[in-house]
């Protein structure tokens, strides 16, 4: 849980603002750090792909599918609840509106995550990932997405935002 610096209310990790007093809960950097331009795919250790059946089920149904993001570096789980489209990115100081899922606490700036990097949408039980024109790109299982085009997400897929690795856990 995160503690509000203003009123000491407890909020879930990833919350941008305090539900009690409205205070901003996270502080970020101003600009996306540019990563070196590497050719080819980003490789990832196959050991990070886990047995999905053993992962906790902590989400709420949205459009017949439930989605939880598993931050591979920390082992934390971020359930996506209450809407059908979620922006992923990081909060930066002075930013008027942040992403729905704030990845600042997961070293997002150093990993090359843009302020509004990508979106996940759920439509009729299907889950899609879209790169929103990020500086360092978005990949699914090592394959780079074209900016502003939807790609279907499957249970267990590895999403890479810049260099930040996240596993999609999708239940039907």
| Tens-place pLDDT, residues 68-117 | 999 999 999 999 999 999 999 999 888 888 899 999 999 999 999 999 99
Does 163 have pLDDT greater than 70? yes
Domain membership of residue 29 (yes or no) is: no
pLDDT at 13: 72
Quote the mean pLDDT of the chain: 82
As for how many domains the chain has, the answer is 1
- Mean of the pLDDT values across residues 157-164? 96
We report the CATH number of the domain holding residue 153 as 2.60.200.20
Q: Return d(Cα 70, Cα 167) in angstroms, integer.
A: 5
Among residues 113, 110, 105, 108, which one has the least CA distance to residue 1? 105
Average pLDDT in the 59-71 region?
A: 74
Burial (0-12, 13-18, 19+ Cβ within 10 Å), 43: exposed
2 belongs to a structural domain: no
Closest-CA residue to 133 (of 144, 148, 151): 148
Residue 60 has pLDDT above 50, yes or no: no
What is the span of the domain harbouring residue 109? 66-171
Poorest-pLDDT segment among 51-55, 63-67, 77-81: 51-55
138 found inside a domain: yes
| Any domain includes 80 | yes
Determine the 3-state secondary structure of 105 from DSSP: helix
**Is 21 inside any structural domain?**
no
Residue 58 near residue 78, CB atoms below 8 Å: no
Pairing of strands 158-161, 85-89: unpaired
Residues of the chain above pLDDT 90, percent: 55
Task: Please answer whether residues 30 and 92 qualify as being in contact, where contact means their C-beta atoms are separated by less than 8 angstroms.
Answer: yes
Structure tokens at 147: 């900016």
Flag whether 49 is in a domain: no
Question: Given this model, what pLDDT does residue 58 score?
Answer: 52
């Amino acid at each position: 849980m995160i503690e509000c610096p203003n009123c000491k209310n407890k909020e879930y990790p990833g919350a941008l603002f305090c539900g009690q007093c409205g205070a901003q809960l996270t502080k970020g950097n101003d600009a996306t750090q540019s990563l070196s331009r590497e050719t080819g795919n980003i490789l990832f250790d196959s050991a990070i792909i886990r047995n999905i059946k053993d992962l906790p089920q902590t989400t709420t149904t949205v459009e017949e599918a439930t989605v939880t993001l598993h931050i591979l570096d920390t082992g934390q789980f971020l359930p996506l609840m209450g809407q059908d489209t979620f922006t992923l990115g990081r909060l930066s100081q002075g930013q008027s509106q942040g992403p729905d899922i704030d990845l600042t606490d997961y070293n997002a700036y150093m990993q090359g995550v843009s302020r509004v990097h990508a979106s996940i949408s759920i439509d009729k039980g299907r889950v899609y990932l879209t790169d929103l024109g990020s500086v360092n790109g978005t990949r699914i299982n090592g394959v780079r997405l074209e900016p502003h085009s939807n790609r279907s997400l499957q249970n267990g897929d590895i999403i890479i935002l810049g260099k930040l690795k996240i596993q999609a856990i999708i239940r039907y």
